[in-house]
Chains A and B, each alone.
Chain A
């Protein structure tokens, strides 16, 4: 008797199972700092709101260059658009991916499948960005990559759903890398963060070094978020290379530079080259240690009146901290995205929106006029800066002096050479 009931129950269960309802929506809670909600109940009225998800590092080595500042930058873009586009309200949620691809992709998946998020922004950790890039393509949403550096995003991993804003490893190699080689750095030793970003940066700078007639004599890889660089610096010293290239960022590059000075590395004529430096890093290091460093950036708060005005507004909301280029990129990317949604009309189709983004030329107070290549690469001029000495600086955040502007067509890798299948 029980057996019969059991079989009946099983069958009815299977019958229920075979009837698979389409995509679960969710009753999302507005503005709750990213929890991929568990309950999938009634879907929100299809596209009643446009949901932007800011996914980045909120508590680790990249928290200062992106973190809460990026969320604020996105909010500023939304406010400027009046909080609405194409008749729909715009919401923003955020989450911490802790620099782990599994955490990042789980949050992104939950956001897309369960919380009606239409676009993910920022993601300043290349390994996570590559995961989100793939997921976004599968789900036909939009990914505005302002934070990550890996040039693969517009190369071998390019996607019709992704726009790579702000900067990439190729641009950095072409800017800082070339400049350092030009000024005498012929032999190189790399200290590399051992994940997608560091590996990509090392690869691209190595190409530039070799092209310019230099050689790479060695390198060492360190785990992300490392605090003690002494043994790596000793190896760098032992290599006797002209240049010690730091293919890392955020807290890692800060620690490397600080400890290099502790161990007197530059006293024997070796030069430090910071390949990816943000203004937040200079602020943490202080001008006494950082003066003279070369860096490439697409944005500096003090470049012109427009950037100054926006940065002042940003600083007001962020306790006096000026924006980094990643945070500026979030603002500009969201702004352009909203414009594209207004034109394309349907934010549910990621590909369509990105096509619109590529069609409409970009124009914002932070990056000026620009375009987006067919492989998703946003093009704008890059700027080579040098860090001022304490004497030259008039106050906090007055850190850079302009060395050279690299025009947009030269700053980034040509689309034809990117290896992206979208480029015919």
Chain B
């Protein structure tokens, strides 16, 4: 009776919970969680499965946000088109940066992604259409497909839920596929993968672009939720935050980044009254995870339970 497996029931329960949750929890908060969970998932694709640490992922997150905001506010595109535009922009950026950065490995890869991210930050700071410090404000949520108004938080929530679940599904499919297997092989032992005849650079680039695109999906959607696109999302602090989320949750696990995102974003929101303490706690957990908890929460759970979640 495999169909009744615990995993299936859990999945269904999760979907039901997600559908019902906005009645109990502030929908904007939930949408923020979803967007960041997708962001972390996309990042995890690169670090957890391809073994590439990018320190500049904020450039995809924030640029897509700006692109979507601009498309919605200035060009008047409907939300799904605006987000799609954001994804295309992020993916293109990913292609350009990826082609240049993939040649390097390890620390150098991280450094060069950081340097590109800084250049993008500078561009966003100066370009008139982004408004610099003033940010792009008053981004209209618009009407989905031209008919369904997304102004109400609840309707918007279900849209965002669908988008993020879609993004997760893409990431999941990419991981559990022959492509994903090759990525894992590259991560474990690249020379051997090369010797087996795989075009590793090619695979790494695809992973990079995919990661960038999904990150863009998260960033564009978030811009519509909050109706603002700002420099915060392209700042390297944001790149650091997504590293933290993935680390805490568990790199190389499917649910790890989701758990990490919930923890990090949740703790920020719930404890804003604690003010500067949050950063202290975050830093502390970062260090703790690197030292003792390298598998992250989900990784540790999997290890204990002896199987993949």
Asked if residues B15 and A114 are in contact (CB atoms below 8 Å), the reply is no
Smallest CB gap from B135: residue in A: A101
Smallest CB gap from A35: residue in B: B272
**Contact flags A1-37 to B (C-beta < 8 A → 1, else 0):** 1100110011001101100110010100000111111
Which of A104-112, A173-181, A315-323 binds B?
A: A104-112
Does any Cβ of A come within 8 Å of B158's Cβ? yes
Asked if residues B271 and A35 are in contact (CB atoms below 8 Å), the reply is yes
Asked if residues B269 and A39 are in contact (CB atoms below 8 Å), the reply is no
Interface size on B, residues (CB 8 A): 41
* Cross-chain pairs A/B with CB under 8 angstroms, 30 sampled: A10-B15, A10-B19, A13-B19, A13-B20, A17-B154, A35-B269, A35-B270, A38-B29, A38-B270, A39-B25, A39-B26, A40-B24, A95-B272, A101-B134, A101-B230, A102-B135, A102-B226, A102-B232, A102-B233, A103-B232, A105-B226, A106-B28, A109-B226, A113-B153, A114-B28, A127-B133, A134-B137, A194-B132, A195-B133, A195-B134
Enumerate chain A residues within 8 angstroms of B232, measured Cβ to Cβ.
100, 102-103
Please judge, given known A-B contacts A16-B20, A36-B269, A127-B134, whether A1 and B227 are in contact too, CB under 8 Å: no
Please judge, given known A-B contacts A1-B3, A10-B15, whether A134 and B138 are in contact too, CB under 8 Å: yes
Smallest CB gap from B23: residue in A: A21
Instruction: Report Cα–Cα, A156/B132, bound state, in Å.
Output: 19
Instruction: Report Cα–Cα, A37/B272, bound state, in Å.
Output: 9
Other 6 A-B pairs with CB < 8 A, given A34-B273, A101-B134, A106-B228: A13-B15, A24-B26, A33-B272, A100-B232, A195-B132, A196-B134
Does any Cβ of B come within 8 Å of A204's Cβ? no
Does any Cβ of B come within 8 Å of A223's Cβ? yes
Does any Cβ of A come within 8 Å of B16's Cβ? yes
Q: 5 closest pairs, A vs B, by CB? A: A13-B19, A195-B133, A35-B272, A102-B230, A127-B134
Enumerate chain B residues within 8 angstroms of A224, measured Cβ to Cβ.
133
Enumerate chain A residues within 8 angstroms of B275, measured Cβ to Cβ.
33, 59, 96
Interface centre among A32, A38, A223 (most CB of B within 10 A): A38
Asked if residues B133 and A20 are in contact (CB atoms below 8 Å), the reply is no
Does any Cβ of A come within 8 Å of B284's Cβ? no
Enumerate chain A residues within 8 angstroms of B115, measured Cβ to Cβ.
none
Enumerate chain A residues within 8 angstroms of B16, measured Cβ to Cβ.
9, 13
Interface residues in chain A, defined as those with a beta carbon under 8 Å from any beta carbon in chain B: 1-2, 5-6, 9-10, 13-14, 16-17, 20-21, 24, 26, 32-41, 59, 95-96, 100-103, 105-106, 109-110, 113-114, 127, 130-131, 134, 194-196, 223-224
Smallest CB gap from B269: residue in A: A38
**Contact flags B143-178 to A (C-beta < 8 A → 1, else 0):** 000000000111100100000000000000000000
Enumerate chain A residues within 8 angstroms of B3, measured Cβ to Cβ.
1-2
A181, chain B: closest CB distance, angstroms: 28
Enumerate chain A residues within 8 angstroms of B135, measured Cβ to Cβ.
100-102, 127, 131
Does any Cβ of A come within 8 Å of B75's Cβ? no
Please judge, given known A-B contacts A13-B20, A20-B152, A127-B135, whether A37 and B4 are in contact too, CB under 8 Å: no
Contact of A40 among B4, B26, B266 (CB under 8 A): B26
B262, chain A: closest CB distance, angstroms: 12
A33, chain B: closest CB distance, angstroms: 5
Smallest CB gap from A109: residue in B: B28
Instruction: Report Cα–Cα, A224/B271, bound state, in Å.
Output: 26
Contact of A16 among B12, B19, B132, B152 (CB under 8 A): B19
Smallest CB gap from B17: residue in A: A13
Interface residues in chain B, defined as those with a beta carbon under 8 Å from any beta carbon in chain A: 3-4, 8, 12, 15-16, 19-20, 23-29, 125, 132-135, 137-138, 152-155, 158, 226-228, 230, 232-233, 266, 269-273, 275-276
Enumerate chain A residues within 8 angstroms of B269, measured Cβ to Cβ.
35-36, 38
Interface centre among B15, B24, B138 (most CB of A within 10 A): B138
Instruction: Report Cα–Cα, A5/B8, bound state, in Å.
Output: 11
Contact of A9 among B15, B132, B233 (CB under 8 A): B15
Instruction: Report Cα–Cα, A24/B29, bound state, in Å.
Output: 13
Please judge, given known A-B contacts A2-B3, A24-B26, whether A101 and B226 are in contact too, CB under 8 Å: no
B222, chain A: closest CB distance, angstroms: 10
Smallest CB gap from A41: residue in B: B24
Smallest CB gap from A58: residue in B: B275
Asked if residues A14 and B28 are in contact (CB atoms below 8 Å), the reply is no
Smallest CB gap from A13: residue in B: B19
A4, chain B: closest CB distance, angstroms: 11
B161, chain A: closest CB distance, angstroms: 10
Instruction: Report Cα–Cα, A40/B152, bound state, in Å.
Output: 15
Contact of B137 among A35, A103, A131, A194 (CB under 8 A): A131
Instruction: Report Cα–Cα, A195/B132, bound state, in Å.
Output: 7
A246, chain B: closest CB distance, angstroms: 17
Enumerate chain A residues within 8 angstroms of B138, measured Cβ to Cβ.
131, 134
A392, chain B: closest CB distance, angstroms: 38
Instruction: Report Cα–Cα, A37/B137, bound state, in Å.
Output: 23
A18, chain B: closest CB distance, angstroms: 9
Asked if residues A100 and B230 are in contact (CB atoms below 8 Å), the reply is yes
Enumerate chain B residues within 8 angstroms of A223, measured Cβ to Cβ.
125, 133
Asked if residues B154 and A194 are in contact (CB atoms below 8 Å), the reply is no
Smallest CB gap from A114: residue in B: B26
Please judge, given known A-B contacts A35-B273, A36-B272, whether A110 and B26 are in contact too, CB under 8 Å: yes
Asked if residues B273 and A33 are in contact (CB atoms below 8 Å), the reply is yes
Instruction: Report Cα–Cα, A242/B15, bound state, in Å.
Output: 68
Asked if residues A40 and B25 are in contact (CB atoms below 8 Å), the reply is yes
Asked if residues A34 and B25 are in contact (CB atoms below 8 Å), the reply is no
Instruction: Report Cα–Cα, A110/B132, bound state, in Å.
Output: 24
Asked if residues B15 and A106 are in contact (CB atoms below 8 Å), the reply is no
Enumerate chain A residues within 8 angstroms of B270, measured Cβ to Cβ.
35, 38
